[in-house]
Structure formats: C-alpha cells, structure tokens
Structure 1
C-alpha cells in the first residue's frame, strides 16, 4: 500500500473506458492512493459506461466524454499524464462477429489513436493495456501461459491481439512504455448487467437474483478461472508502477479453475436458492466456444509479486451484496 501510494500520489492518471466496469473500480483505488484522475468515456449504449459507477468519487475525479478514436481529442487529453490505463474497447465476442467493423474501429483504430497521440505529445507516459484471454483462442494445453500460440476464434480476439501488439511496438520503436495484461473472466461490482453479450457470470448473477432459470450451454464441464475486480485493479497498478513490466505481457487468473456447472451450483448456494438447466449450444456460440480455459499467472507473480487474494466464494458474496443494493442502476 505504501509503495503504491508513493508511486501514484499527486500523479496525473488517465483511464480510458473510465466509467466502465474495471475503469471505475480502478478510479476508486487511485483516488484512495491520492492520484489526480481523469476518466475518458464515450458512453456508447450497450458498452458498460455507467455514471453511477463513480457516484462515491464524482467530486474527486474529472470526467471527459470523448471517443478514443478521435486523435485530436486524445492529443489534448494525453498531455501531461503520468500514466494511462487503456481500458476502452469493445469486449463482446458475439457483437464482434455480428458487427466486425465496429470492433475493428474500437479495438484497432481507437488504440492507434491513443498511441499516436502519446507518440506526438507525451512519450514519457506509461501505458497499461487491457488484453484478454480470448486472444489465445481454443487452448492447445492447460494452464495457458504467455508463450502459448495465439489463434483467436472470433473477430474480437483478433482485434484485441492487434491492439496489444500496437502497444508493444510503440514501446519498442518509440519508447512509449507499455504493458499488456491478458485478463481472464473478471467479475465484481459495477459490471455491465443489461445483457449477456459481455459477461456470462454477470448474466448468471442477474438471472439468479431475478429468480430466472440459468442456462448453461453444453454439459457444464467447461473449466474457467475467475479474477475478482479488486485483484485485477491491483495487477494494473503493479504493472504501471514497475519498469520490469515495460514491453511485457502478463496473464491474470484465479485461485483454481471451476466448471461452469460447479460455478452455478455455488451461485445457487450463495443466493440460497435458484435453478439451472443444461441446453445444447446455439450455432453462433458453438462456433466461437473455446472449451475449457484457465491461465498460468506465474509470470506476473514472479516478476511483480501479484497473485489473486479474493477467493471466488468471497468475491461472489460481495458481488451479490452490491447488486441487491443497487440493482435499479444496472438492470
């Protein structure tokens, strides 16, 4: 805590996608650490930006409604920033297949716009990019480490991979220090809950709170790992604070993998009630399903000292408590 506070106190920090799930949780932590926080979000419908996410710190941060694809705006906003947490983008695998051009715009052109703005106006900044496990595609082996080949099964995975490579290229060629964190299934308070196209665990939680039947595609044996959002935030901060992270990529992960069926049974147990059913995969989802996936996060543990601290059960308890209290702001 003291080391992070000394690193971020009074520093200027820009968070793209700042009104979204991880961005808002990161903002809360940075305010706690004494940073001067600027949140950039274009508040596109269906994308997760939610002003309620920052209700506790609204007077302690600056919010700029802007699109990262607009290089003129970004050129102004990146000036003088010490750190940029680049969380903007389109994250729905399903939407990327239905509308690949928007995904391309958001996840490639948008990140090039930010990097070009930094190259021209602030090469001293440190950037941490939010990558995804979806870059790997269907695993060749488990757990998946950073040396695993990337063969994405959807447009989103391809474009997120490209966005990551842009950051690594600008780090190597232009000296714009950049790091990428490949996120697994991140969950917790402030997650988008309006639809099921971005987070299946969020949708499961919504269904069980509303007394609906949870639908699991396939036989429910697929393994996944989960990262509570506070743990993910800590990884972003450590990556920003460490020069050892420059030019590197890191997996995040969870304590241990759990099958989807076991996950839903845990949700039912925590909720003290609920039901689920197993159904065949719809054709559009079957084509992009990757089967079981869980990550090896030993690299970030070894180099930066990160490891998940919040157990899945504890994290789910906190998540249920949050949405029961603030449901009307998310449904």
Structure 2
C-alpha cells in the first residue's frame, strides 16, 4: 500500500483514502508539518479548513518552502467547480475561472498558487475540479446524507431551492481516479473536471432516494437554507477530457451509490 501525504481535505474523505493508501493526514497544513514532505511521497491537498484569506497565505508559504527545498514533487489538488463563472450548461476545463463565492474563491486562489509553484519548481500537478462527491461518512448539511438521514427517520427535509441542478458522483470513483493518476505518474500540469456528467435536480434526487430506499420524508421549503453568497443554479461537469486522456469515468450509478450510502446510514443509526 503506497503512502500519501494529505492535508486540507474534508475528514469524511479520509476513511476512503485509507482503504487505498497509507495516509499521513493533517487537517490544516502548518509550518510544523514541514518535515512530513518527501519528494517520493505524493501530496493530496484540498482547500478545506481555510477560514479566512490569511490561512491561504500561510498554506502557500509552507508549500513554497517545501518546493524550494526539493521536498515536494507530485501534487493532486482536490479543487471545486466553484472556480468557474456560472453558466447554464456543462462546464469545460477551458471555461472562464471567475468564482462568485468564498468557496470558489479560496479554491481558485490555491489553484493559482499551485500552478505558480509547479511552473517555477518543475512540480507535477494534477488539479481535479470536483463537482458533488457523496458517500458513507459524509454528513449533513450535505444534501445526499441529509435526504437519506431524513428518510431513515421518516423526518422532514428542509430545502432552499429544490430545482437547483447538481452532478453527483460516488466517493469510490474519486478514490479510483486518484489511484489511476498515481499509477500513470503524469508529468507537468493538468486540469480535469470530475463528476458523472449527468444533471440531477435536488427534487429528482429526493424522488429517487425515496424510490430506492422504499422510505418517505416530507419536503418543506425553508428560506433559511438559501445561501447568503451566490449558489449555482446549474453545476454539471463535461468529463470528455478526463475520459479521453485518462480513460476514467464513474462506475457507480446514482441509484447504486444512494443505496450504498443508505445502507451505511442505517448501520450508523443501528437500524
């Protein structure tokens, strides 16, 4: 089992990474973690646990120090579709980067830092712009676990806008992709969208979840669930590039993924 260094990645993803890799995980990278870097150990980084812009600068300083010291070589960055300027249609990797909220802005700033370091210090960088991964260990307020948890308890789902369209893909497909990238050992800099390529509205997700589980939940509009910052009406990936260049596409259908996640939720609740 190969070793990877992981930081600033959501905690719910780490149990899945641990099934494929020996991971050295830190929630938020700091200067005290500098000794963990090794040019022979791939580094997987996200943009989580960045509460303010000064955190991004601190993170960039550590990465710069590691790159200058030749302690960093291969990077996989788990970015977000939030870097794109909104539009009605599938997003392509060549689309304009113009984030409209803090999530997208911090993801885009870190992309710029990593691209700069990769160019200056000849690092191998793969940027994965994730759409909507889901699966076991992910909890509310994410929409998939929220819906499935409410079905398990015959409760009520409070939704801000049920007609927003998203691109859901199961977590095991992401782990398979990371393994594939490390096996192929790509050189230079590349950017890929990661999703299913299939549009699913929140209302459709709720309907399918109820059909798959055989359970019910009440759905109520809740204005407090509307985000203060801009929230995309339509966020679906064009995955032609990653299919062509890496030969990757999701294996787990939405129906299968929802069933697997629901099984985990039932087990977690002791039902």
- State TM-score, norm by structure 2: 0.89
CA RMSD after TM alignment: 2.4
> Any stretches of 5+ residues in structure 1 without a counterpart?
1-8, 31-36, 43-66, 91-100
2:41 is the alignment partner of 1:39: no
Corresponding position of 1:236: 178
Separation of aligned partners in 2, 1:323 and 1:89: 24
2:43 is the alignment partner of 1:84: yes
Q: Aligned in 2, Cα 1:255/1:18: closer, same or farther, shift over 3 Å? A: closer
Runs (4+) of structure 1 exceeding 4 A deviation are: none
2:95 is the alignment partner of 1:148: yes
Separation of aligned partners in 1, 2:10 and 2:242: 26
2:212 is the alignment partner of 1:227: no
Verify the 8 A CA contact 2:122 2:188 in the aligned structure 1: no
Cα-to-partner distance string for 1:151-198 (whole Å, 9 max, x where unaligned): 22211211111111111111111112211100011000121x2x41xx
Corresponding position of 2:196: 254
Corresponding position of 1:49: none
- State TM-score, norm by structure 1: 0.74
Corresponding position of 2:124: 177
2:119 is the alignment partner of 1:134: no
Alignment of 1:42-81 (within 5 A): 42=27, 67-68=28-29, 70-71=30-31, 73-79=32-38, 81=40
Separation of aligned partners in 2, 1:264 and 1:214: 9
2:104 is the alignment partner of 1:157: yes
Verify the 8 A CA contact 1:228 1:315 in the aligned structure 2: yes
Separation of aligned partners in 1, 2:130 and 2:83: 10
Cα-to-partner distance string for 1:198-235 (whole Å, 9 max, x where unaligned): x22222222222221112223x3322111100001112
Say which is worse superposed, 162-171 or 241-250, in terms of deviation: 241-250
51, 63, 73: which one pairs with 1:102?
Answer: 51
2:252 is the alignment partner of 1:310: yes
Q: Aligned in 2, Cα 1:15/1:251: closer, same or farther, shift over 3 Å? A: same
Per chain length, whose mean CA-contact separation is higher, i.e. which structure has more relative contact order (CA < 8 Å, sep 6+)? 2
Separation of aligned partners in 2, 1:153 and 1:271: 36
The secondary structure found in structure 2 opposite 1:273 is coil
136, 143, 151: which one pairs with 1:208?
Answer: 151
Cα-to-partner distance string for 1:57-80 (whole Å, 9 max, x where unaligned): xxxxxxxxxx40x22x22201135
May I ask how many residue pairs the two structures share in their alignment? 270
Cα-to-partner distance string for 1:266-325 (whole Å, 9 max, x where unaligned): 111222121233526448516422101101011111111110000000011110111211
Verify the 8 A CA contact 2:131 2:235 in the aligned structure 1: no
2:241 is the alignment partner of 1:293: no
Alignment of 1:316-331 (within 5 A): 316-327=258-269
Verify the 8 A CA contact 2:47 2:79 in the aligned structure 1: no
Verify the 8 A CA contact 1:18 1:27 in the aligned structure 2: no
Separation of aligned partners in 2, 1:138 and 1:324: 36
